[in-house]
Structure 1
Amino acid sequence: PLRPGIQQCNPQVNTSVSTARYSKEMGNPPELTEERKTAVRASWDLVRKNMRQNGADFYLHFFKTFPVYKDLFKDFKDTPLEEVAKHPKLKAHGLRAFYAIASMVDSLDDLEIAAQIMRKTVDDHFPRGIRTLQFTHVFGVLLDFLSIKLESNFDERTREGWEATTAILMQVTEARMKELEQTAE
């Protein structure tokens, strides 16, 4: 079962945000070439310089894009976004999430390691009612956030690299979700 509030989320809330998913209609994601891996790593190195603040800023951007998700965090439920911005647990959660992303970025040359990290992340979130749609939203907002935060450093090659990376991670997410949902039945 989904946590209260999740089923209310409309996946079309912000269509300007990439969904980080590729369907037959959209075509295939860009290939994760060495050049694109290098661009992803270089862009993440810029984020890594201040992971604590960037992680918090990401979650604020996420909550502005999809306000319904803020209330899924018990510490932030019914709290104005201005107060959430000052909450120490916002930085802590952002930092944990960004360390997981950093580990996956650091593992782009061994995608099985990145996949294991993603599977563990899915396993941790599944009992909380988080499903594929929510991961799709997170990755879409991540791409949007990076394009805003990195400005000119988020060029076409970097965008394609992140699109390829998130598409791979979403494939892992979808496969693991199917396994967990079958086990839960």
Structure 2
Amino acid sequence: MQDLSITSSVKDAGKFGTTTADHIRGSRVAKKTGGYSRSANSEASADFPSIKKDYEDSLIALTSLTDEEIQSVRDSWLILKAHIEKIGVIVFLGLFEEHSDFRDAFARFRGKQLVEITRDPALQAHGLRVLNVVDKLVGRLQKVEAIQDFILSLGSRHCKYVPSINLIPSVGEQLLEAIQPALEEQGMWTESTQRGWKAVLSYLTNAMRYGLARTPQTSLNIT
């Protein structure tokens, strides 16, 4: 896998040491779920009961976080937030490297090599949008109901762009793989931090899947 390290500008920011910056890179090879030839339409229809249950379970897990776990997530996010643009780029490069169909869902990136995409400002912009959603969720961990509809609608709006509903969890996996090494280097990857972030990212991806799955079938026009 190509080196997707955060650039030297992050090292100079003072938040991370050199080793930490080197460790913030694209995810390890994600396990493929297979069956991506099916449309998002048929996937959502066939798997709706399990998708709904996954969402409900992840919501329970998120709202069951202790004050310590919530604070651990917020404290660690203060470290990560200074670099969300670069982390977002890393996450999407990892996704594009592992899932070319995900990359090709973006007309601007379709058929391009990763080295070309890396220099495209649009990649940074999209990564930033995704990390801003994480920021909104982290800021509302004690009142999740205030952001539920927003994330569900976000999933619905992605119905025309996600080549497979089974790809959505990969975003959470890539995010976790990007932030864990940085927090480990800072000595912040404690059990409470790990539980908190896993709950946050599980809820985020399951809410988006559920939002997409409950979108009227006529809107799911991916083939």
Q: TM-score, with normalisation over the residues of structure 2?
A: 0.63
- Give unmatched runs, 5+ long, in structure 1: 1-8, 13-20
Partner Cα separation in structure 1 for residue 118 and residue 91 of structure 2: 11
2:214 aligned to 164, 179, 184, which one? 179
Partner Cα separation in structure 1 for residue 162 and residue 91 of structure 2: 21
The answer to whether the Cα contact below 8 Å between 1:29 and 1:163 also exists between their aligned partners in 2 is no
| Change in CA separation of 1:143 and 1:85 when aligned onto 2, cut-off 3 Å | same
Partner Cα separation in structure 1 for residue 124 and residue 115 of structure 2: 14
Partner Cα separation in structure 1 for residue 87 and residue 204 of structure 2: 21
| Change in CA separation of 1:37 and 1:132 when aligned onto 2, cut-off 3 Å | farther
Partner Cα separation in structure 1 for residue 164 and residue 103 of structure 2: 16
Higher Cα radius of gyration: 2
Partner Cα separation in structure 1 for residue 81 and residue 214 of structure 2: 33
- Does 2:157 correspond to 1:115? no
State the Cα deviation string for residues 15-51 of structure 1 (Å, max 9, x = none). Answer: xxxxxx997xxxx968422211111112221121122
Shift of 1:121: 1.5
Letter matched to residue 175 of structure 1: Y
Shift of 1:181: 4.5
Shift of 1:76: 1.1
Farther-moved stretch of structure 1 (148-157 vs 131-140): 148-157
- Does 2:33 correspond to 1:11? yes
Shift of 1:77: 1.2
Matches within 5 A, 1:8-47: 10-11=32-33, 31-47=64-80
| Change in CA separation of 1:146 and 1:67 when aligned onto 2, cut-off 3 Å | farther
- Does 2:103 correspond to 1:70? yes
Partner Cα separation in structure 1 for residue 76 and residue 211 of structure 2: 28
Q: Runs of 4+ in structure 1 displaced over 6 angstroms?
A: none
- Give unmatched runs, 5+ long, in structure 2: 1-30, 35-50, 55-59
State the identity as a percent: 24
- Does 2:115 correspond to 1:92? no
Partner Cα separation in structure 2 for residue 130 and residue 113 of structure 1: 29
* 2:40 corresponding residue in structure 1: none
Shift of 1:130: 5.1
Shift of 1:176: 2.5
| Change in CA separation of 1:181 and 1:10 when aligned onto 2, cut-off 3 Å | farther
1:162 aligned to 197, 207, 215, which one? 197
1:126 aligned to 145, 159, 167, which one? 159
Q: TM-score, with normalisation over the residues of structure 1?
A: 0.75
SS at match of 2:142: coil
Farther-moved stretch of structure 1 (69-78 vs 145-154): 145-154
The answer to whether the Cα contact below 8 Å between 1:104 and 1:113 also exists between their aligned partners in 2 is no
